[in-house]
A and B are shown apart, each in its own frame.
Chain A
Amino acid sequence: GESVGLHLPTLSVQEGDNSIINCAYSNSASDYFIWYKQESGKGPQFIIDIRSNMDKRQGQRVTVLLNKTVKHLSLQIAATQPGDSAVYFCADARGFQKLVFGTGTRLLVSP
């Protein structure tokens, strides 16, 4: 599998900085939201998810924020590392099953 490539929005950060990747969704009926990470040559890998009855959820070095009023989702990565360099996708769904994916953001981490 290969990332979507050259036309992606790109976020460049320095190692150790915090990264914030943003995503807008359109379906006001969506009640489940999820972030995936995709490295070159691999399939998307689950990072963190959140349901619509929450506005924040934390994992290991990652936090997802959900603003249902403006249909906005963000992924915050603390103390970004070179290994975090990848393409990040958000997705939303009504229920857990038929996810609709965004086009992705490429994160580049410089040492």
Chain B
Amino acid sequence: DAEITQSPRHKITETGRQVTLACHQTWNHNNMFWYRQDLGHGLRLIHYSYGVHDTNKGEVSDGYSVSRSNTEDLPLTLESAASSQTSVYFCASNSLNSPLHFGNGTRLTVT
């Protein structure tokens, strides 16, 4: 069955370190998204991509970057981790006229 996989499931890092969260989907979806989920804010869009080599900023993109070198993967990089980036991160994908499918998340703690 097609799926979307995030890794790692849990990560602890120190302030200032670079961190990359992986997202891999086997749906062959063109569109991929990264969200963060925090108390009182619901899911907020960080970055998204509509296809290979396409990337776009979401509403909370500062301090994050993504790259899309193939259809299956959209890694999310925190250039210099900050305590404010402690959160649960979700990757999602879809194609035109289909609902978003989410991964099971990565819990990131920045100490």
Contact = CB atoms under 8 A, between A and B. Distances in A.
A43 B38 contact: no
Say what secondary structure dominates the interface of chain A.
loop
Interface string A37-52: 0000111111001000
Given A1-B90, A43-B104, 16 more contacts: A1-B105, A1-B107, A4-B39, A7-B40, A36-B102, A43-B90, A43-B103, A44-B100, A44-B102, A45-B102, A46-B99, A46-B101, A91-B43, A96-B97, A101-B44, A104-B42
Interface residues of B, number: 29
Residue among B43, B48, B101 with the most chain A CB within 10 A?
Answer: B43
Interface in A21-48: 34, 36, 41-46
Contact of A1 (B31, B96, B99, B104): B104
A103 B96 contact: no
- 6 smallest beta-carbon distances between A and B, as pairs: A1-B105, A43-B102, A101-B43, A103-B42, A101-B42, A46-B99
